[in-house]
Amino acid sequence: MKNKPITETFLCVEYARVSTANEGQKESCTNQIKLCDDYVMKHPELRVVERYVDDALTGGNDNRPEYQKLLSRIRQGDIRYILAKSTNRLCRSTEVDGQLQKICRENDVMIIFVDGNQVFNPFDGDAVTMHSIQMIFDQQYIYTQSKNGKIAHKQKCEKRVLDATDVRYGYEWDYKNHCMVINEEQARMVRKMFEWYVFGGLGVTEIARKLAEYGVYGEKSGKILSANTVSSRLADSSYKGVFYINKKGSKLNIGVGAKKIRYDRPKEEWVAVSGPAIVSEKLFDLAQRVREERCHIYDKPSKESSQARFRGTHLFASKVFCGDCGSQFHFKYSDRAKTIGEYKDCFSKYKKTLDSVCHNKKYNRIRENTLKGLCLYSINEFLKNHEECIDNIVKIIREASRENLNDDTQIKIYQKKLQKIDKELRKNLEAWRDAPDPDMKDDFLKMYQANKAEKTAVEQEIANLEHQQVSVEEFEKEIQRIRKKVEGMKQIQDIDRAVVENFIDRIIINKDGRINVILKFDTAFEALFKTKVISYLDSNGKAPVLKDIEIEEIKYIKDVRELEELNASMLVSCSYRS
């Protein structure tokens, strides 16, 4: 391809971008556009047809509205040049840059970086090579900033301080004093919102309408607030002066179409920070009591207690299956008061094909209390009769601990590092002695002192690691102590989700009334019950127990191959009559 000579008027576009809203004046979008305009003034053959500005958006991806408009304009085929302050203003990703170069080559477009007065030709091999190297450095800047941001966030959590990112409705950030302050105009509406909810008896939708009458709308949407937004504000503890930070985390993701990956952290990792309160603690607590009462009135279950076919929050969720069609039993309540839970075969609702058939019509449901009692009995019988289970656990702990005990890899790494530091010490000491002038002597002395401090730190780490290594006798004493604790767990008094996850592999309800409870162990036993299974709660309303159960025989199965022959590893089979 031959470059067009710059002797006629060429159409061009300008692009500017900053990553954060508070970026300095030197890198502001206005300043970038001004630099591009100054360049065009010196080159009358260029004519700007459009300017595109993305404010407070990262260059690590192409999810920028104005940038996408820029690409669409280039594809029209009449643009000759793109003007930008520098390479990192267009993007900071090698993948996005590759996409931009491809589009420029397809439409015969070149890029002018006005800061360095450079014209980048995507058909020039040498220029592409140097540009790609520069882009690698620009991309590394994002990774470095992300790493520094994580360090800063960790320090923020350790110091328990707030910053501008913690601002929400009712507050604003005082950049001069670096603290959170109350926005009195918004705070007045927050107080009204709590008063309407607690004393006025208004619902969240009614409150949203009332706020709209006062001119309070969504900050971004400009529309009336949703019921969820009002509800979340009523539950926000920051309004009583307790801000929670570290509630969410994120993972860096750059490239074409990439978006930052965000996730919720568990509540144990949240950090409480004190801040200015808008409402009294008493009023806030009253609002929470009203929320709980209204939830109870309307019978709205919480996320933890709702049907959990995929989340698995019910006691036996994802554990109960039909022995005929293999479909999963789902939790439901068998009474209107929602006090009696049961698991029901939903084959007809979730069958995969129209001609699928399930012959388990009679035993297609089982009550949760019955499963509690059966599983509790089965697990305790297994623990009581399987000493080798405890032996295996102790054996695993012993082998794993001895492996870690004999592992001196980390010590060797520090010893090699110590040798390297000693060489640097000798080298800097000799250089200090031979330095021709005082300034050089001071520089080498500082380097020597830094090496000395590093050596002291490494020696301390080696001493700590050596101290952690205990003797064989002490190790065996610790193992026996662990064994006693494990033996104390041989009988389980109550069954919860953790017990089910640790012991129960699956429960199969067969069409002939047999229940196969399959435990998560290679060693198993088979128990045959002759009479009807009856389960109920004890006098304290806690542990489910079995009544009127007669065991005909107990057969221990120690070979895993035998389990495979017993209908998908059957461990306990019993007769069940509804």
Each residue's pLDDT tens digit, 272-300: 999 999 999 989 998 898 887 776 444 44
Who contacts 576 (Cβ-Cβ below 8 Å, separation ≥6)? Answer: 363, 366, 370, 509, 513, 514, 515, 532, 533
* 312 pLDDT higher than 60: no
Q: Both tokens of residue 528?
A: 């045959």
Lowest-pLDDT range of 16-30, 286-300, 435-449, 563-577: 563-577
Start-to-end CA span in the chain (Å): 84
For 164-241+276-297, CATH number?
3.90.1750.20
How far does Cα 490 stand from its chain's mean position? 36
Q: What is the pLDDT of residues 349-386, one digit of tens each?
A: 666 566 678 887 777 888 888 778 777 777 777 776 65
CA distance 15 to 24: 18
Which pLDDT score, from 0 to 100, does residue 352 have? 56
* Residue 428 vs residue 247, higher pLDDT: 247
Q: Confidence class of residue 313 from pLDDT cuts 50, 70 and 90? A: low
Check: CB of residue 365 under 8 Å from CB of residue 345: yes
| 40-68: average pLDDT | 93
* Residue 522 vs residue 20, higher pLDDT: 20
Percentage of residues in the chain having pLDDT higher than 90: 34
Listed by start position, the domains of the chain span 10-143, 164-241+276-297, 320-388+490-575, 391-486
Mean pLDDT of the chain: 78
Q: Confidence class of residue 468 from pLDDT cuts 50, 70 and 90? A: low
Which pLDDT score, from 0 to 100, does residue 104 have? 95
Strands 81-84 and 110-113: parallel
Most confident of 49-53, 389-393, 464-468: 49-53
Residue closest to 229 by CA, chosen among 299, 303, 169: 169
* 112 pLDDT higher than 90: yes
* 437 pLDDT higher than 90: no
Q: Please report, for residues 380, 388, 389, 399, 405, the alpha-carbon distance to residue 395 in angstroms, rounded to integers and kept in the order given.
A: 21, 10, 10, 6, 15
Q: Both tokens of residue 284?
A: 């806030």
Which pLDDT score, from 0 to 100, does residue 101 have? 94
Which pLDDT score, from 0 to 100, does residue 372 have? 82
Check: CB of residue 342 under 8 Å from CB of residue 320: no
Q: What is the pLDDT of residues 58-90, one digit of tens each?
A: 999 999 999 999 999 999 999 999 999 999 999
- How big is the chain, counted in residues? 578
The alpha carbon torsion through 488, 493, 494, 496 (nearest 10 deg) reads 20
Q: What is the pLDDT of residues 179-201, one digit of tens each?
A: 999 999 999 999 999 999 988 88
Residue closest to 496 by CA, chosen among 381, 382, 332, 368: 368
* 556 pLDDT higher than 50: no
Q: What is the pLDDT of residues 481-530, one digit of tens each?
A: 766 665 655 567 778 887 787 778 778 787 777 777 777 755 444 444 34
**Strands annotated E in 214-260:** 242-245, 248-251
Which pLDDT score, from 0 to 100, does residue 492 have? 73
The alpha carbon torsion through 348, 353, 354, 356 (nearest 10 deg) reads -70
Which pLDDT score, from 0 to 100, does residue 343 have? 87
Most confident of 17-21, 102-106, 222-226: 102-106
Give the fold, CATH level 3, of 10-143: Rossmann fold (3.40.50)
